[in-house]
Amino acid sequence: MNLRDIHTPVLLERCIELMAPALQHDGAVVVDATLGMGGHSEALLERFDNIRLIGLDRDTDALRIAGQRLERFADRITLVHTVYDEIGLHAQGASAILMDLGVSSLQLDEADRGFAYAKDAPLDMRMDQTKGVTAAEVLATYSEGNLRRIFERYGEEKLAARYARFIVQARDTTPMVRSQDLVDLLQKATPAAAQRSGHPAKRVFQALRIEVNAELSVLADAIPAAMDALKVGGRIVVMSYQSLEDRLVKQAFAAASASTAPAGLPVELPEHAPRFRTLTKGAELASDEEKARNPRAIPVRLRAAERVREAA
């Protein structure tokens, strides 16, 4: 398997450009908090021979594959099986942190993981297959109200109530254990007019994946923990692929880059000065050229920030 043929890192050059100023000194430490198949990490290790890299991932398959890909850098890497909300345990004093959120190329491309509605497979969707409940278990055990909640909140699905009702009505006689089972039911439940606006399974599969992996609650903890771990002058780059993720990143960056001085204070004291400055104007998108070359770059939203002072 040639990883370069199946995995094209999203916004690679822009990520490197943003992190480069923090990586010029010997002993700089980069934390790839979402290692995946190691594409971004490989490029960083190739271009900066002075850095050490810590790669985190909850997916044991990803760690195995990335370990093989990065084997020639074995003396400069440490790979850790963990969820990235534990980044504070592994990234203290980091010079740069990269977070490439959402489902990885590996998880999408491996049909038996159940992430892709276009590929029939067991409804698993766990990024870490060593623990946790599967998507099939969520569908089999959640109440109609809870299913509606996750479809609305995590999938922003307008037909959430209708889909939840159909699933609960059908599951006693037709258990949904494979992705095709769920796709068939969703297509049956979707009015013809709504089917013309996109595949009926897209948002439901996204919602189930987020629920199974607790992605938003993990991210809400991980972003501030990563920012706290950075040294002064350190930089964090985050790539999001849907609005719920990007909103959390935007809010965390905005809070950290704002003054905490009380309103009306004539002079801003040092302890009230912002801890970070943003490096991007809003969220950056991939170019049309990259979107054409790498379809997984189409929804990406990139934000970056630099730490400018210690905590008070």
Rounded distance between C-alpha atoms, residue 224 and residue 128, angstroms: 23
Query: 208 and 219 in one domain?
Result: no
The last residue of one of the domains, among 213, 243, 271, is 213
Question: Who contacts 5 (Cβ-Cβ below 8 Å, separation ≥6)?
Answer: none
Residue found by looking up tokens 């290790």 in the block: 45
Using the structure block, give the residue that is written with the tokens 């905490």: 260
The answer to whether 114 is annotated as binding is no
Report whether 8 contacts 39 (CB < 8 A).
Answer: yes
CA-wise closest residue to 104 among 183, 203, 9:
9
My answer on whether 89 and 26 are in the same domain is: yes
Q: What is the mean pLDDT of residues 77-98?
A: 97
Which residue, 213, 243, 266, sits at the end of a domain?
213
Query: Could you report the per-residue pLDDT of 42-82, keeping only the tens digit for each?
Result: 999 999 999 999 999 999 999 999 999 999 999 999 999 99
**pLDDT in the model for residue 271:** 72
233 in a labelled binding site: no
Does any domain span residue 312? no
38 is in an annotated binding site: yes
Residue 52 falls inside a structural domain: yes
Residue 57's domain is classified under what CATH number? 3.40.50.150
142 annotated to bind ligand: no
> Residue 107 annotated as binding?
yes
Q: Which of 213, 231, 254 is the last residue of a domain?
A: 213
Encoded tokens for 122: 């067991």
Q: Is 145 annotated as a binding residue?
A: no
The structure tokens listed for 148 are 């509606």
Residue 299 lies in a domain: yes
Q: Which residues have CB under 8 Å from 152's CB, separation 6+? A: 160
Structural domain includes residue 302: yes
Provide the whole-model pTM: 0.92
- Is 57 known to sit in a ligand binding site? yes
Over 80: is that where the pLDDT of 100 sits?
yes
pLDDT at 228: 97
36 closest CA partner among 117, 85, 99: 99
Report helix, strand or coil for 99: strand
Q: Which residues of 233-247 are buried (b: 16+ CB within 10 A; e: fewer)?
A: ebbbbbbbbbebbbe
pLDDT digits (tens, 9 = 90+) for 230-248: 999 999 999 999 999 999 9
* pLDDT above 70 as % of the chain: 95
